[in-house]
Amino acid sequence: MDKIQEMITSIDLNNVLKIFDIQIAVAVALMFILFRGVFSSIIIKIYYLIVKKNKKPKESSVYKYFSVLFVFIGVYLSINILPTNRKLKSIMTQLFEAALILFITKCLTTITHEDSYIYKKIFKKDNKTVNTFISKIIRGVMWVISFFVISFRLGFGKDLSGLFTALGIFSAALALAAQEIVKSLIGGMEILTDKPFVIGDWIEVGEHQGTVIDITYRSTRLKSPNNAIVTIPNSVITAESIINWNRLTSRRFETTLNLSLETTSEKVKKIVKEIKLVLENNKSVVRDSVQVHVSEIAASSINIFIYMYVKETEYTKFLRVKEELLCTLLFLAEKENIDLAYPTQTLYLRKGEEDFK
Length of the chain: 357
The one-letter amino acid code at 241 reads: S
Return phi, psi of residue 152, to 5°: -70, -45
Question: Is the distance from CB of 294 to CB of 343 less than 8 angstroms?
Answer: no
Q: What is the DSSP string of 84-150?
A: --HHHHHHHHHHHHHHHHHHHHHHHHHHTSTTSHHHHHHS-SS-HHHHHHHHHHHHHHHHHHHHHHH
Per-residue model confidence (pLDDT) at position 61 = 65
The one-letter amino acid code at 166 reads: A
Task: List alpha helices for 303-348, DSSP H.
Answer: 315-335
**Averaged over 67-83, what is the pLDDT?**
74
C-alpha span between 228 and 230 (Å, rounded): 6
C-alpha span between 142 and 128 (Å, rounded): 21
Pick 254 or 53 by higher pLDDT: 254
**Residue 283 clears pLDDT 70, i.e. is over it:** yes
Per-residue model confidence (pLDDT) at position 13 = 46
Question: Is the distance from CB of 57 to CB of 40 less than 8 angstroms?
Answer: yes
**Averaged over 77-106, what is the pLDDT?**
73
Region of poorest pLDDT, from 150-164, 229-243, 250-264: 150-164
pLDDT, tens digit (0-9, with 9 covering 90-100), for 258-272: 998 888 999 999 999
**Residue 124 clears pLDDT 60, i.e. is over it:** no
Closest-CA residue to 69 (of 99, 90, 105, 95):
99
**Residue 142 clears pLDDT 80, i.e. is over it:** no
Per-residue model confidence (pLDDT) at position 276 = 92
Query: 242 CB contacts (<8 Å, ≥6 apart)?
Result: 196, 197, 203, 204, 205
**Residue 173 clears pLDDT 60, i.e. is over it:** no
Closest-CA residue to 140 (of 216, 198, 230):
216
Per-residue model confidence (pLDDT) at position 318 = 87
Pick 348 or 181 by higher pLDDT: 348
Per-residue model confidence (pLDDT) at position 95 = 76
Per-residue model confidence (pLDDT) at position 326 = 92
**Residue 306 clears pLDDT 90, i.e. is over it:** yes
**Residue 102 clears pLDDT 90, i.e. is over it:** no
**Averaged over 37-43, what is the pLDDT?**
77
Closest-CA residue to 108 (of 148, 71, 62, 49):
62
**Residue 193 clears pLDDT 90, i.e. is over it:** no
Pick 328 or 173 by higher pLDDT: 328
**Residue 248 clears pLDDT 80, i.e. is over it:** no
| pTM flag (> 0.85) | no
Residue 334: CB atoms within 10 A of its CB come to 11
pLDDT range class, residue 126, cuts 50, 70, 90: low
Closest-CA residue to 329 (of 296, 356, 306):
306
Pick 13 or 310 by higher pLDDT: 310
Closest-CA residue to 119 (of 102, 103, 101, 137):
137
Q: What is the DSSP string of 51-64?
A: HT----GGGSTTHH
pLDDT range class, residue 19, cuts 50, 70, 90: low
Query: 236 CB contacts (<8 Å, ≥6 apart)?
Result: 187, 205, 206
C-alpha span between 206 and 240 (Å, rounded): 6
C-alpha span between 58 and 74 (Å, rounded): 21
C-alpha span between 193 and 338 (Å, rounded): 56
Per-residue model confidence (pLDDT) at position 336 = 87
The one-letter amino acid code at 297 reads: I
**Residue 163 clears pLDDT 70, i.e. is over it:** no
CA 127 vs CA 120, 133, 197, 307, 336: distances in Å: 11, 10, 11, 37, 54
Residue 260: CB atoms within 10 A of its CB come to 14
When mean pLDDT is compared over 33-42, 170-179, 200-209, the highest value belongs to 200-209
Closest-CA residue to 204 (of 144, 263, 251):
251
Question: In the predicted model, what is the mean pLDDT of the chain?
Answer: 75
pLDDT range class, residue 67, cuts 50, 70, 90: confident
Per-residue model confidence (pLDDT) at position 322 = 92
Region of poorest pLDDT, from 6-20, 82-96, 331-345: 6-20
Question: Is the distance from CB of 59 to CB of 89 less than 8 angstroms?
Answer: no
**Residue 18 clears pLDDT 50, i.e. is over it:** yes
Pick 29 or 85 by higher pLDDT: 29
What are residue 220's DSSP bridge partners? 215, 232
